Amino acid sequence: MGRSLGVQWVAGPKLYTQRKLRPQQYFLPWQRGPEERKAFEVPGLNVCIIQSILKSVANCWCLLYLSQSFQFPLPWEKCPLVKNSSDFDAECARTTPFMYFWYRQTLKISDTIEDDGTLISSVSLSLFVTWCFIGAIMMHGIKILGKVMYVLVLLPYLIMVCFLIWSPLLNGSLFGLQHLLKFKKVSVLDCFMIIINVGNHLLSSLGLGLGIIAAFSSYLPPSNNCLVDAVVVALVNLGTMLMTTAVIIFVVGFWVTITTNRCKEKNVEVLINLVSLGELPPEAMPPANIVSNVASMFTSWLESLPQSVKKMVQSKVSQCNTEDQIMKTTIGPGFTFLLFVETMSFVPGAAYWSILFFLMYLSFGMTAIVGNMQGIFTPLQDTFSGFKNHPKLLTVSVTLLLFLGSLFFAQPPGYYYFRLLDDYWFSFPTVLLPTMETMGIAWIYGAKR
């Protein structure tokens, strides 16, 4: 997302309405016909198509959550009641309201990937709205795109600054920072995976090798200082990642602190109940004042018990360890729609912060899709000259086809396919395409040049 924000922020105010050069012909002048250009344009085009579909699906989920954030109380804070009854839904009671709302009410996910089902109406409608908005932006062409980017780029940064100021003030937020800075011994395999993940994220955030940067740059005048733009894009991308990382670290620290304290409070209730039922000896009864400061007193009280009683207590309660809790954190949709949503419910004004968060996420996602769409339109217009004379027809056709393709993920098993592509497919072309293109340009154009 930093790539789309950086490129469009730099290029947006200076975009011309007509393309000044074709980047493929500039770097590869020996290409004489459309067949040679296709060999270089098709791989990036295909990746942009799949990325656009995946990002539109994530945006539609965000739009659903944003529309629900205007309710009070928030629908994911409590389990729903069974129809014509005062009891909570049994499945929700076995997990958490946040997981139930995400998997059962938003995704309406099937039990296995093989299960079939009809399209989910709420997800399909949200996808339609998402693609209508993207189509409306692209319909007006590059002239209006620069003005739209002022809003879509500046809005998430303003919201991010608000989160950056607010998140360090949360209780236990510094625990996440301490955990990050703590030296940990990792295996060679884990170290290798960390390097792969960091490299994959860096390449995908810059959008290298997909033709997106070249597509936007082709609208700039030939006299434009591309070196300065490249430095600014890299710095904006770096700043975006640092700001996002800081907010995530503080939020994770707060989440771990709250969930650990709630785990200890639940353990106290369980022990009181078991002692009253006679399943544990009286020595296992927590002191009366432990409820007032369960975060610090529970562990010290447990360590002071006799060894035999301590083993009995530990066999009956959950292990509330902060290190174990922080290892439960996930990336991707699991962080956005589960951990962050749960964290927002712990603070006053949860609806307000939820609206800001999903508005920021939606703006980030929209700018990313706009960048991918430009990476789709440009090679199509270069390859098929008829699309240049009918840009609106191209916009409607591509948007409609991508919307129909995204409906595949609006089925009950759609989330499984989304995770398969996002976790296992996405990194391969992200690393392969820039590597091969860099080697090709260095060999043909000359590394020293």
pLDDT digits (tens, 9 = 90+) for 299-334: 888 888 888 888 888 888 888 877 777 766 767 777
Residue 88 forms beta bridges with which residues?
Answer: 81
Q: Which among 258, 342, 364, 250 has a CA at the least distance from the CA of 5?
A: 364
Cα 321 from Cα 305, distance rounded (Å): 18
At residue 17, the pLDDT reads 46
Can you tell me which residue has the tokens 């990325």? 51
Cα 100 from Cα 105, distance rounded (Å): 7
Q: Which amino acid is at 57?
A: V
At residue 358, the pLDDT reads 92
Q: What is the DSSP string of 227-246?
A: HHHHHHHHHHHHHHHHHHHH
At residue 41, the pLDDT reads 61
pLDDT digits (tens, 9 = 90+) for 387-414: 878 888 888 999 999 999 999 999 999 9
At residue 6, the pLDDT reads 47
> What is the radius of gyration, based on Cα positions, of the chain?
26
CA angle 323, 354, 128 (to 5 degrees): 115
Can you tell me which residue has the tokens 């039922």? 277
Neighbours of 190 (CB within 10 A): 11
Helix (H) or strand (E) holding 222: none
Residues 6+ apart with CB under 8 A from 353: 166, 344, 347
Distances (CA, A) of 276 to 190, 280, 410: 47, 8, 50
- pLDDT tens, residue order, the chain (449 aa): 444 444 444 444 444 445 554 544 444 444 444 444 444 567 778 888 998 999 999 999 999 999 999 888 888 888 888 777 777 778 887 888 888 999 988 999 988 888 888 899 999 999 999 999 999 888 876 666 666 667 777 888 888 898 999 888 888 888 877 777 776 676 777 777 777 777 777 777 777 777 777 777 777 777 778 788 888 888 888 888 888 888 888 988 898 888 888 888 888 888 888 888 888 888 888 888 887 788 778 888 888 888 888 888 888 888 887 777 776 676 777 788 888 888 888 888 888 989 999 999 888 888 888 888 888 888 888 777 778 788 888 889 999 999 999 999 999 999 999 998 888 887 778 778 888 878 887 887 777 77
Distances (CA, A) of 349 to 180, 340, 353, 356: 28, 14, 7, 11
Q: Which among 375, 395, 334, 391 has a CA at the least distance from the CA of 41?
A: 375
At residue 192, the pLDDT reads 75
At residue 9, the pLDDT reads 44
At residue 409, the pLDDT reads 94
Cα 285 from Cα 291, distance rounded (Å): 12
At residue 85, the pLDDT reads 72
The model's pTM is: 0.82
> Residue 57 in contact with residue 409, Cβ under 8 Å?
yes
